[in-house]
Copies of this chain bind each other. A is one copy, B any other.
Amino acid sequence: MEYLLQGQKKITMTHDSVSIVAAAHSPFGRLDGINLEDLIVKVTRDALADAAIDAAEIDALFLGHFNSGLVADGFAASLMLQADPQLRFKPATRCENACASGSAAIQAGINAIRSGAAELVLVVGAEKMTSNSTADVTRALSGAGYQHDEREAGLSFAQLFGQVAQQYAERYHSPLASMAAIAVKNHANAMSNPLAQMHRVMDFEHCNNISQSNPVIAQPLRLTDCSLISDGAAAVILASPRRARSMQRQVAIRAMTQVNDFLPLSSRDVLAFEGPQRAIHGAMREAGVTLGDLSFAEVHDCFTIAELLIYEAMGLAPKGEGHRALDDGTVRHGGRLPVNLSGGLKAKGHPVGATGVSMHALGFRQLIGQPIGLGVPRAEFGLLFNMGGMAVANYASVLQAVRA
C-alpha cells in the first residue's frame, strides 16, 4: 500500500495488490501460416516458461479476444488449454469489450484473485486479422459501433475518428500537424521494439502531407494516422499477494479502473472523451499517484487523433491544447512522461484483442528493468490506457515496480 503523506517522502509498504509475475509477447504483424490457436498456445507456453511454473499451478484462465467475424473460432476460451495437458478441467473464459478485450480479461483475472477463487491466473489476449481482406477487417471492426442508428451503422472506425478530428478542428483548431507528429514519434519509438510490426522511420513531411504513399483514408485521416491490421498475442500471469512473494519478479497493479460509456455517438459529446478521462483519473486516484509520479504511459492510439485526445484526458494539457505535450517534448522518449515507447498501436501493431494484454506485458517488462524496446531508467510507475470502440469501454491501469 502506498501512502502519500504531505511533505513527506513516499513510504512503500508490503502491498496487497494483485501482481504481474510473468509475461510473454509474440511479434505483431502479418504472421502467415499461424492461426488463432497457434498464437494463443505460443504465448501461453511462453508465459508459463517465463514464470518458471508448472501449468498445474494455474487456477483460472481468461482470454481477451474480439473476433466479430475475423476468424471462424466462435468459442476460443478453451484453446488456451491446448498449450498443456495439465490445463484440462481448469476454468477458462473469454472476455470481450471490443478493442479493450485484453484489458477486460486482465480485469477478470484480478477479480478472480481478489475474490479468493484463484492465486495464479493466466491471461491471454489474441487476434488473427491478416487472413482477411482489408474490407472484411473494416467490416468486422465496425461491428464495434452502434448498429441501431442508420447514421452510425456501417461507418468504419476511420470514418468515425475522422469525424472526431473534424469536430476538433471546428471547436479548437486543426489537429493535423499534431497528429502527424504523433505518427512520427511512435514510428521512431518502434524502431527499438523488436516485436513491433513496422520498423520504418517516418518523417513529419511524409506524415503531414497527402501523397500517393500517404493517401486520405477517411477525411481528414491520412494513412499514417491509422493503426495497423495485425496478428498477435500477449500473455501475463497474475498472482495474489501471497503467491507473488514466492516469485522472482513482480510488478504491482496498484489500480485498474473500467468506465463504460453509451455506445451511440448521438448520446454524448464524443470530443469530450469523458470515459477515458474518468478511467485514467480514477485509476490514478485509486493508486494515489499524480501525473508527476508516472515514468511512462502506453495509451490507445488506434488513430493519431485518439492519442492527442488522450493527452488531454490525462490532464497533460487543457482541452484543445494537447499539442503542447508534444511541442515541449513531454511525451517523447527522454521526456518527462514518454507515451507509447513501444511504438503504440500505430507502429507496434494492433491485434485488437491482444492490445490490452500487450500493454500490461510491456509495462511489466519496463518495470522489472527489462524493457522490450526503449527503456526508462529507474521507472517506478506506469500508466496504461486501453479503449474499446469510440471511447466506450475504457480501462486504465497503474502499475508499480516492486523492489526488494
Give chain A's interface residues, CB within 8 Å of chain B: 35, 37, 61, 66-69, 71-75, 77-79, 81-82, 88-98, 104, 107-108, 110-117, 140, 143-145, 147-148, 153, 258-264, 274-275, 278, 388-389, 392-393
Contacts and interface: CB of A to CB of B under 8 A. Distances in A.
A105 to B, nearest CB: 10
Contacts of A264: 82
Contacts of A94: 95-97, 104
A37 B145 CA distance: 13
Contact of A95 (B61, B93, B114): B93
20 contacts: A35-B148, A72-B143, A73-B147, A75-B96, A75-B144, A78-B260, A78-B389, A82-B262, A89-B261, A89-B275, A90-B259, A92-B260, A93-B107, A93-B258, A94-B97, A95-B108, A111-B112, A111-B117, A114-B117, A115-B115
B77 A97 contact: yes
- Stoichiometry, as copies per complex, reads 2
A94 B258 CA distance: 13
A88 B143 contact: no
Contact of A90 (B75, B260, B392): B260
Nearest to A35: B148
A71 to B, nearest CB: 8
A35 B78 CA distance: 29
A113 B112 CA distance: 10
Contacts of A104: 93-94
A8 to B, nearest CB: 28
Contacts of A89: 259-261, 274-275, 278
Enumerate the 6 nearest inter-chain pairs by beta-carbon distance, A residue then B residue, closest first.
A74-B143, A68-B74, A114-B115, A91-B258, A75-B144, A75-B98
A78 B393 contact: yes
